[in-house]
Amino acid sequence: MDLYERLQAMRLRTERTGESAPSAKNAPRAKNAPSGESAPSAKNAPGRDLSSIQPGPDWTCAANGVWFRETRFPVPDEYRDQLTKNDGRWGPLSPALGRGVYATPLFFDLETTGLSAGSGNVAFLAGFGSFLCGRSNSTPQIAVRQYFLSDYGSEHDFVEAMLREMRGSGIAGSESLLVSYNGSSFDLPVVSTRCIMNGLQPPVPLHLDLLPVSRRLWKTLLPDCRLSTIETRVLNLERDEDIPGALAPYRYHEFHRTADPSVLREVFSHHRYDIRNLAFTGMRITRLLATDAPEILKERVDAGAVSRILYERGDADDRARAIRIMDSILDGGAATAAYGETLRYRAFLEKRKRNATTALRLFTECGR
């Protein structure tokens, strides 16, 4: 008898003997729960097997207590040139990939029962997005695949489903690339912890976290660099049905208390849009890094940051374009938003090249 079965047997004995459950009067309020509401119990709804509850009509059973659905979104016209013909390969957008290297991206996001990466934080919703651009598709699409854990006892199967997605091989001639938003600090550590807790080998994927590069491109222009801010202020996108991500754990515990899957409808929608907009954010960054001067100065982005990212990639063509962007910024004078930072960066580049006269002139101008 495994741990889950023992716990179920204990619950049934308690119900038969009429013993009362521990009082929740002094239970702490759930983090991110609405003010004045105590944390709902994570105990399953009495007499209900949550593993058999279908989350919605468009969900199918992938394993006992694990549910699956797929939603497809069209790729906007402005990004379609980034996809090679007849497959879902994607060009590079950061130092994670070298120039001319293509990857099969897998956009990834989790919803969890808490906000830490510790052993008590369980992932209950995993999403994966990939491009569909085969011959049968007249319009390139993003396929968003979601896996939902309805019962804690089915976590092993849920984690295995995640690993199958992550370990899927890339298209011939390209590497498989996991793309996330803050995945380095949160999502991947959670996956590793849940793998260890279930006796599975944690994955070590080629990974690209879009949060650091997004901060470089937009931190001077936006109040924050949350994905929701970028999608409204940069991508001009709106969601049809949504809920603050911080309330997702509360809704999941509510589902376990009531066995009512309708409380999760907005969580599923929020998560689905996170995956879609993560892909669109990556494609916008790719387009910006492919834009030359002076057009880049017309975009809603820190052009100086674009030039520095290009220069750091190390390719000769990228560095030549980076210098052109820097020259355009400096030609615009001190009134240009990125002027000061670009001037300092260019001065250090000239110093590194041992162009002492030019470096001295630029450093002198920085001090004015």
As a whole number of angstroms, the distance between CA 319 and CA 304 comes to 13
Choose the most confident range, by mean pLDDT, from 31-40, 95-104, 278-287.
Answer: 278-287
Strands 123-132 and 103-112, bridge-based pairing: antiparallel
Q: What's this model's pTM, rounded to 2 decimal places?
A: 0.81
On the 0-12 / 13-18 / 19+ scale of CB atoms within 10 A, 45 is middle
3-state DSSP assignment of residue 282:
helix
β-pairing, 206-209 vs 175-180, is parallel
In angstroms, rounded to a whole number, what is the distance separating the alpha carbons of residues 290 and 213? 15
Q: Residue 87: which pLDDT band, with cuts at 50, 70 and 90?
A: low
Contacts 24+ apart (CB under 8 A), 362-367: 366/340
316 confidence band (pLDDT: 50, 70, 90):
confident
What local confidence, expressed as pLDDT, does residue 205 receive?
Answer: 84
Evaluate if residue 38 carries a pLDDT over 60: no
Q: Between these two residues, 17 and 261, which has the higher pLDDT value? A: 261
Supply 262's token pair. Answer: 């309708």
Residue-wise pLDDT for 252-290, tens only, equals 999 999 999 999 999 999 999 999 999 999 999 988 988
The one-letter amino acid code at 315 reads: D
Chain centre distance of CA 313: 23
- Per residue in 49-88, is it b (16+ CB within 10 Å) or e — as a string? ebbebebeeebeebbebbbbbebebebeeebeebbbeebb
Say how many Å lie between the first and final Cα of the chain, rounded: 76
**In this structure, what token pair is assigned to residue 154?**
């089915």
Overall residue count recorded for the chain in this entry: 368
Split at pLDDT 50, 70, 90, the class of 35 is very low
Count CB neighbours of 355 within 10 A: 14
Mean pLDDT computed over 167-191: 81
CB 316 within 8 A of CB 284: no
pLDDT exceeds cutoff 90 at 223: yes
Q: For position 260, what pLDDT does the model report?
A: 95
Give me the mean pLDDT over the 76-85 stretch.
78
Instruction: Please tell me the predicted confidence (pLDDT) of residue 89.
Output: 64
Going from the C-alpha of 316 to that of each of 99, 103, 217, 239, 323, the distances in angstroms are 10, 21, 22, 41, 11
CB 50 within 8 A of CB 259: yes
Tens of pLDDT, residues 227-238: 999 999 999 998
Domain ranges of the chain: 43-289, 295-366
Give the whole-angstrom CA distance, residue 296 versus residue 5: 60
Q: Please give the residue that has the higher pLDDT: either 28 or 137.
A: 137
**Phi-psi bin for 65: left (phi > 0), alpha (psi -120 to 50), beta?**
left
- DSSP H or E run through 256: helix 248-258
What are the tokens at 313? 């990639």
On the 0-12 / 13-18 / 19+ scale of CB atoms within 10 A, 206 is middle
Class at the top of the CATH hierarchy for domain 43-289: alpha beta
Among residues 33, 204, 171, which one has the least CA distance to residue 90?
A: 171
Residue 23 has a pLDDT of: 40
Which one is predicted more confidently, 44 or 301? 301
